[in-house]
Structure 1
Amino acid sequence: MVTSQLSVPAPPRIVVSAPGSGQGKTTIATGLMAALRHRGEQVAGFKIGPDYIDPGYHSLATGRPGRNLDPRLCSEELMLPLLLHGSRSPGPADVAVIEGVMGLYDGQLGTDGYASTAHVARLLQAPVIIVLDVSGVSRTAAALVRGLIAEDARLSIAGVIMNKVGSPRHAGEIRRALDDHGIVTLGAVPRDRGVSVPSRHLGLMPAAERPDAVDVIGRLADELADSVDLDAVLTAARNAPVIAGTPWDPTTVVRPASDERPVVAIAGGRAFTFRYAETEELLSAAGCRPVSFDPAEDIALPADTAGIYLGGGFPEVHAESLARNAPLRDAIADAVGRGVPTVAECAGLLYLAKSCDDQPMVGVLPTDGVMTERLTLGYRTGVADHDQLLAGAGETVTGHEFHRTAVTPDGSTPPAWLLGGRPEGFSLDPAGTGTPTVHASYLHIHWAGHPTVAQRFADAAHRYRQRVGQHAYDLDHHGDRDIADGLVDLAVNVRLGAPPAWLATILRDSIDHLAGYPRIDAATQAIAAAHGADIDQVLPTAGGAEGFTLIARGVRGDHPLVVHPQFTEPEAALRAAGRRPRRLVLSEADGFVLDPSAVDDHANLIMIGNPTNPTGVLHPADQIRALVRPGRVVCVDEAFMDAVPGERESLLGGDLTGIVVLRSLTKTWGLAGLRAGYAVGDPAIIADLRRQQAPWSVSTPAADAIVACLSAQARAEAARAAEEFDRLRTPLVSGLRDLGLSVLGDPATPFVLVDCAGWPGRPGWLRLALRDHGVAARRGDTFPGLGPDWIRVAVRDPGTTRGFLSTLADIKAGAVNHQEIPA
């Protein structure tokens, strides 16, 4: 690593301390920060110790990240560099206000005050202001302060701020006692005027959970400006000795593992408020892109997630709202199952458990979380007993535990750490990668003190990004890439090997007209007639793919949402157009069926398949229409609707306000190489698409094919083919289930989605085994929401189906005898 040699002076600084907890340090320190900021000073806020809650208030008061200074977590040597860093980022601060921990001399038990406020104040040569709750004393206050001063002559006590003063007379009595001993009085804050911070089982309520936090801090600023001599406070800060050092720089302790910029999803919101500011800075320096998400509100992980960081907080308080967000819980479970590197500290551990206080959580850890009466609190040394996500075997870290919940590991997984020889937490490899990708523990670690932890996690995110590609799922993968010469094709959903003879004749005749530019008038009229639509409601397209591209470019909406699992082309088209769609990943537990209430209210462009590729789910038309609202466009991919008997649940034929339906003729009529389709919808939407369409994009043969395939005779033939698919699908589904494979739901499509997880072997091995036996199935792990154990299988003629089922039986027999499970 490169070490910077630049030395800079420390800013004016002051430490706010007290004789003990509960004296009002946080209230006074936060009020001072806000009051000084209101005067125009740039204030950097710090908290001594491992506490996460107080820095949240500091951040609101100062407008910059609240930071921690803890020599036990980060070493004595890093105290000044971290102070310098926090005082210069995001810009230079005029003054640093540092809130102490517990009483002035209270540090780690058994260490003679190590990591106490006094310890850090000495390291930083910072004057100390004593906050004194005087609600139960008067002149005795002076004796208390004299005792604090006498304990350590190396400290500089700048003065006292009296808190909870009962009256001017009360304040005057204490001031005179302090004056008698030469102790400066900096202020007298009256008893609570509604500006105190409420507490609960782990201390103060986090600022992120208080809608009134900004208002409270504003009132604190006014209160402190009225009752404290801010000029004297600034003078004390400026009288701190001049010291200099090298600011901490994350780029000198970690480095990017590749030129990729993997997204690391950082849990936030009300339930996850505990994390150190340096964590994200280290990840950024290691080449990652930290992106926050709210597990209680967001329905999907950030796009392209290649790592997940679930920090501390209060999932036990917000368990109900976390449990309600099933789409995100499923998305995280799926991501973890696919090997996305995941760190879960304390609250994150509970969130990954099966349940928390009987509320369902993500369910990837073999444990449940429960509230207890016992508070677990203290510094811990963690030892890695194996090579895991955050440390190599034998490496140690120093962390902090602070929780009233408990989990009971079942012993089936290695621990995250050994704490004093005691196994704690979970280290898992759910994707079978050969290296643990999940680290879940109660231990909070300040990564600035252990940058190798950040480096290992970031390196894992880089490796995942490189392994899976740009979007975590290969959105450009289609079934044609799974087939090869010599393989029985069950991967592509085209019904016919070639167009029927009557259609082939029409296409051959169209060649005679290729010298002229294409005309689509007849195709437009044929579409309108077939679906009872007006001319301005229809648009011929060069297959469904062009339709998705036209929508991505032509339909406005800054919050596009793609419902998954489904055909990946809609999302790929949005991304190619420079848009950043959100994902709604439907729940496998619900059969991937749409729940309209799960759709983000902000989504103003929704893309959904019906019937859905690859799940085969046919969503009720009313459920899709329930998504329509003013200002929102609902795009429905009905590429396989003509394979559904009676085209039941199609949105065509009804009110199309706010709706556009895409149809494809390539699957039913063997026209994949020609590209023929169309859009039907709201005239305003169709007009937007028409403006985006390149001239003559629909070729003459494609236009002729549209006219031919939408004739009454052709539609009757397609209807008969749909009925035939129903008959052909039945023996395929029953045969798969007889072999112990799970077929999703009651498919209404010329394909079925199969879950192979019930068979032996590593994830994805059955698809590879089929390929080795001459059969190509569509892989499932390129569809968001699915994994390597899913395959999509096309419905074929009875002979092909029998051969496929026989091949599966042979593979199963070989696997049972342990003869052919791919490595």
Structure 2
Amino acid sequence: MIAAPASGHGKTTVATGLMAALARTGLEVSGHKVGPDYIDPGYHALATGRPGRNLDPYLVGEDRVAPLLLHGAGPLDGRRAADVAVIEGVMGLYDGQLETDGFSSTAHVAALTRTPVVLVVDVSHASRTIGAVVHGLVSYDPRVEVAGVILNKAGSARHADEVRRAIRDVPVLGVLHRDAGIEAPSRHLGLVPAAERSEAAHSLDVLAERIATAVDLDAVLRIARSADPLGAEPWRASDHVAPPATVDGARPVVAMAGGRAFTFRYAETEELLRAAGCDVVTFDPLEDAALPDRTAGIYLGGGFPEVHAADLAANQPLRAALAAAVADGVPTVAECAGLLYLCRAVDSAPMVGVVDADAVMTPRLTLGYRRAVAPYDSLLGPAGTTVTAHEFHRTTVEPHAGALAAWRVGDRAVGFAGPALHASYLHTHWAGHPALAQAFADAVHGRASTARTSSRSVGAPVVTGIAAATTGAPMLEANGDRVPTPDLRHHGDVEVRDADLVDLAVNVWDGPRPPWLDDALRSSLDDLHHYPEARTAEAALAARHGRTPEEVLATAGAAEAFGLVARLRPWRRPVVVHPQFTEPDVALAEAGRTVTHVVLDATGGYSLDPARVPGDADLVVVGNPTNPTSRLHPADTVRAVARPGRLVVVDEAFMDFVPGETASLATARTAGVLVIRSLTKLWSIPGVRAGYVLGEPDVIAALRAAQAPWSVSTTAGAAMRACATDDAAAEAGRRAATTAAYRQVLTDGLDALSIPYVADPAGPFVLARPGAGVREQLREAGFALRRCDTFPGLDATWVRIAVRPPDVTARLLDTLHEIAR
């Protein structure tokens, strides 16, 4: 055990150098670290060629410390067992958890493992007094055997001799003179990790040579051999976790973040996951553009994303892949650095954006052991799960916790949790809590099983699929409410069906239909004795949009149009941009297609980035304005998605609510673009099923050939003709202007209540985030709002609010105010 009177005496330098010097003599050396620190083990691994290991009674329990020491020193990947184990202490020899009489201190671990101690003492500011310091450390606790001392930072040979003569209790094993060249550089959280220092290997060679010259290695080995037998069995991961009884197909992959930005995870974490039947593949968020093939789980451990924020932000393809994977329910665990990476931003640099929080650097260090309890069922276990953990960071996230917190520490909620995500600042050592590893591995196996069913993976930049989106994640219970997994067939009318509630869930104009439209609908009944024909309606719609009739196909609502598109070609890589209306997903799934989701970022206000679309996508579906975000994408941005060999389908179901229909692609033929329109919303006729498609003649002809005969009813045709007139255009303009005015009342009220919403809404609805449980409280108060956890990329903290007249909106806002109180 390499210990010291206090931090800063050179434990890491001497311990690492000693490991390297001993290894260079041909010995097999294992390196260990007392406490939770994750930087020093990186240097130990570099020195020994074996994983650095942590020994922490608080994190793993006293009874596991000796078994973990034996495990770390045992045979490994074809290498023989270690000849000598070197353990680096923490802080001062007897310094441990506060108010516990030194629990988890270096001395505590030395006693648990019967390990003799070699002191490293910085003598740069004293001489004979060092003798008194060493005497005090030697005699303070008879359970701890201090067997030698190494003097560090001696000013001269004369100075070293003076100190040596003053030490009477134990032998001096060596003297290191002042030399900053063999010290690792530091920054805001201590030493710079070895993985971030390109010169680390060379520096280690220099350090090993100087330790070998200055320290009596034979004497050190004699002390090591004097250690008493441990009388314990080595820890084995397979004793604590197990794979499923049956595994269908290849072992699922857990993608584990590594590289310079993610330098820390306990070695036993990976071993537990492997023992639980998973393969662990490291990926580098700074370099890799995609997740590993067959990824069915993601583990983002510790590191320094704040240092590498700009480079992490620059790797936009991987950020998009992670966002899509998390949104699609891929089980994901993130600790500290992983939490920051999943936030919207770190010091304004955009990150993955799946955690609705922002991270910033602060001057305050948060450091300490924690005992945490899971307040809800989550990915890592049921409510009530209790763990010991460690917290160490100079950043903060706002808010500190989501609606479903990952942990509760005392009266403080921390982190973000759900059925497929667990993210917080707390580091847990899974060797001490193997149930966490088992729960995560079980979720990964469940995910892999679903993925095999739908024949897909998440190895590509942004991949998700219908099967997992509908059945992949378990139910989540929070505050007594059962929150189901995304149901892509859910519709807003379910919220108000058979209920006497104020309807803020369905995006249909709630005023009366124009008399001329009602007249047309009633008159159509006189023609029901004929089979329907849609050509006159298509001609009227063509004139309305300045198109030829060959560029228009009437359909039984947008739903039929999506079904026709899904069956139009054997799509190899269909993509649906989310969050948006889920009918395209359902249609493609029913056609036997595997769907790729591109999930837009909340940090960018859900704006469309054409670069997010995979290059090999041959079908792309995007809403404009998008349901449920109400975001209007510029026409040029939508056009930029198009390319040769690709069909871009633009769902403009709500475009007629936009004054002037700015950004519409309906009136001009654009190569490779198909526009789907609906009369349902603006004209209050969802029961009629009237929609149409605008596109290039060859595409329209192919869709027409696939359409069932007489699918468009006589009444739907009459509605199309009536809504294509000049009178209809004038009325549409008035309704769009009224909607914009009503919507402003709603957003002003949300601003006054400090309820966040997606900025610049353009549709007849607003996507707001009042928090989990608010929708249910509003329902109890008589208001029906559209739930949003059925939209990929959103969760139960969001609601979609239909725009209504100011008096209705005022009642809603008053109720929200009462709930907030």
TM-score by length of 2: 0.62
CA positional deviation for 1:734:
4.4
Q: How does 1:569-648 map to 2 (within 5 A)?
A: 591=608, 593-594=610-611, 608-609=615-616, 612-615=617-620
2-structure distance, mates of 1:210, 1:806: 69
8 Å Cα contact 1:564/1:586 also seen in 2: no
2-structure distance, mates of 1:586, 1:453: 28
8 Å Cα contact 1:135/1:166 also seen in 2: yes
Is 1:362 aligned to 2:380, yes or no? no
Partner SS state of residue 194, structure 1: helix
Q: How does 1:401-440 map to 2 (within 5 A)?
A: 401-409=391-399, 413-428=403-418, 436-440=419-423
Question: Please, which of 286, 298, 310 is the counterpart of residue 308 of structure 1?
Answer: 298
1-structure distance, mates of 2:374, 2:184: 38
CA positional deviation for 1:797:
4.2
2-structure distance, mates of 1:564, 1:412: 30
The match for 2:189 is 202
Question: Please, which of 774, 778, 796 is the counterpart of residue 703 of structure 2?
Answer: 796
Q: Which amino acid aligns with 1:472?
A: S
8 Å Cα contact 1:754/1:793 also seen in 2: no
The match for 1:223 is 210
The match for 1:340 is 330
Question: Please, which of 158, 170, 193 is the counterpart of residue 183 of structure 1?
Answer: 170
Question: Please, which of 458, 472, 486 is the counterpart of residue 457 of structure 2?
Answer: 472
1-structure distance, mates of 2:193, 2:431: 23
Q: How does 1:28-47 map to 2 (within 5 A)?
A: 28-47=14-33
Partner SS state of residue 615, structure 1: strand
The match for 1:256 is 243
Partner SS state of residue 467, structure 1: helix
The match for 1:103 is 92
1-structure distance, mates of 2:291, 2:39: 25
Is 1:71 aligned to 2:60, yes or no? no
The match for 1:521 is none
Is 1:283 aligned to 2:273, yes or no? yes
Question: Please, which of 121, 128, 131 is the counterpart of residue 132 of structure 1?
Answer: 121
Q: Which amino acid aligns with 1:60?
A: L
2-structure distance, mates of 1:182, 1:116: 22
CA 1:132/1:564 → structure 2, altered by over 3 Å: closer, same or farther?
Answer: farther
1-structure distance, mates of 2:2, 2:700: 67
Is 1:350 aligned to 2:340, yes or no? yes
Is 1:57 aligned to 2:43, yes or no? yes
Partner SS state of residue 368, structure 1: strand
Q: Cα deviation per residue 1:747-806 (whole Å; 9 max; x = unaligned)?
A: 9566759999xx9xxxxxxxxx99xx999x9xxxxxxxxxxxxxx999734998994997
Q: Which amino acid aligns with 1:230?
A: L
1-structure distance, mates of 2:336, 2:402: 20
Q: Which amino acid aligns with 1:73?
A: L
1-structure distance, mates of 2:184, 2:222: 28
CA 1:754/1:312 → structure 2, altered by over 3 Å: closer, same or farther?
Answer: farther
CA positional deviation for 1:389:
1.3
Is 1:463 aligned to 2:446, yes or no? yes
CA 1:821/1:156 → structure 2, altered by over 3 Å: closer, same or farther?
Answer: closer
CA positional deviation for 1:742:
13
2-structure distance, mates of 1:818, 1:72: 47
Question: Please, which of 121, 128, 135 is the counterpart of residue 110 of structure 2?
Answer: 121
Q: Which amino acid aligns with 2:620?
A: T
CA 1:241/1:201 → structure 2, altered by over 3 Å: closer, same or farther?
Answer: same
CA positional deviation for 1:275:
1.0
After TM superposition, the structure 1 stretch with the greater mean CA deviation from structure 2, 192-201 or 111-120, is 192-201
Q: Cα deviation per residue 1:384-432 (whole Å; 9 max; x = unaligned)?
A: 111111121112100001111111227651111110121111113xxxx
2-structure distance, mates of 1:212, 1:16: 24
8 Å Cα contact 1:326/1:587 also seen in 2: no
Partner SS state of residue 369, structure 2: strand
CA positional deviation for 1:490:
4.7
The unaligned stretches of length 5 or more in structure 1 are 1-14, 429-435, 498-542, 546-561, 567-582, 599-606, 618-644, 651-662, 668-724, 760-768, 778-791
CA positional deviation for 1:649:
7.1
Question: Please, which of 430, 451, 454 is the counterpart of residue 437 of structure 2?
Answer: 454
Partner SS state of residue 703, structure 2: coil
2-structure distance, mates of 1:491, 1:300: 31
CA 1:40/1:461 → structure 2, altered by over 3 Å: closer, same or farther?
Answer: same
Q: Which amino acid aligns with 1:380?
A: R
The match for 1:685 is none
The match for 1:638 is none
1-structure distance, mates of 2:83, 2:104: 26
Q: How well do the aligned residues superpose, as a CA RMSD in angstroms?
A: 4.6
CA 1:112/1:495 → structure 2, altered by over 3 Å: closer, same or farther?
Answer: closer
1-structure distance, mates of 2:320, 2:347: 19
Partner SS state of residue 404, structure 2: coil
Partner SS state of residue 186, structure 1: strand
CA 1:239/1:821 → structure 2, altered by over 3 Å: closer, same or farther?
Answer: closer
Q: Cα deviation per residue 1:115-170 (whole Å; 9 max; x = unaligned)?
A: 11011101111110000101111121111100001101122212111111112222
Q: Cα deviation per residue 1:67-122 (whole Å; 9 max; x = unaligned)?
A: 00000000110011101100014131110000000000001000000111011101
2-structure distance, mates of 1:447, 1:370: 28
8 Å Cα contact 2:621/2:651 also seen in 1: no
Q: Which amino acid aligns with 1:142?
A: G
CA 1:753/1:60 → structure 2, altered by over 3 Å: closer, same or farther?
Answer: farther
Partner SS state of residue 82, structure 2: coil
CA 1:806/1:288 → structure 2, altered by over 3 Å: closer, same or farther?
Answer: farther
Is 1:442 aligned to 2:425, yes or no? yes
8 Å Cα contact 2:653/2:676 also seen in 1: no
TM-score by length of 1: 0.62
8 Å Cα contact 1:379/1:398 also seen in 2: yes
1-structure distance, mates of 2:400, 2:340: 15
2-structure distance, mates of 1:222, 1:41: 15
CA positional deviation for 1:738:
3.9
Q: Which amino acid aligns with 1:796?
A: L
8 Å Cα contact 2:414/2:424 also seen in 1: yes
2-structure distance, mates of 1:745, 1:313: 46
CA 1:495/1:73 → structure 2, altered by over 3 Å: closer, same or farther?
Answer: closer
Question: Please, which of 66, 85, 91 is the counterpart of residue 80 of structure 1?
Answer: 66
The match for 2:308 is 318
User: What's the % identity of the aligned pairs?
Assistant: 50
1-structure distance, mates of 2:181, 2:785: 71
1-structure distance, mates of 2:712, 2:399: 46
Q: How does 1:735-814 map to 2 (within 5 A)?
A: 735=653, 737-738=655-656, 752=674, 796-797=703-704, 803=712
CA positional deviation for 1:468:
2.3
CA positional deviation for 1:59:
0.3
Partner SS state of residue 132, structure 1: strand
CA positional deviation for 1:439:
0.9
Q: How does 1:691-710 map to 2 (within 5 A)?
A: none
2-structure distance, mates of 1:299, 1:333: 13
CA 1:735/1:407 → structure 2, altered by over 3 Å: closer, same or farther?
Answer: closer
The match for 2:83 is 94
The match for 1:161 is 150
Q: Cα deviation per residue 1:581-611 (whole Å; 9 max; x = unaligned)?
A: xx9989786746349xx9xxxxxxxx944xx
2-structure distance, mates of 1:392, 1:496: 46
2-structure distance, mates of 1:806, 1:437: 43
CA positional deviation for 1:376:
1.0
8 Å Cα contact 1:105/1:117 also seen in 2: yes
Partner SS state of residue 189, structure 1: strand
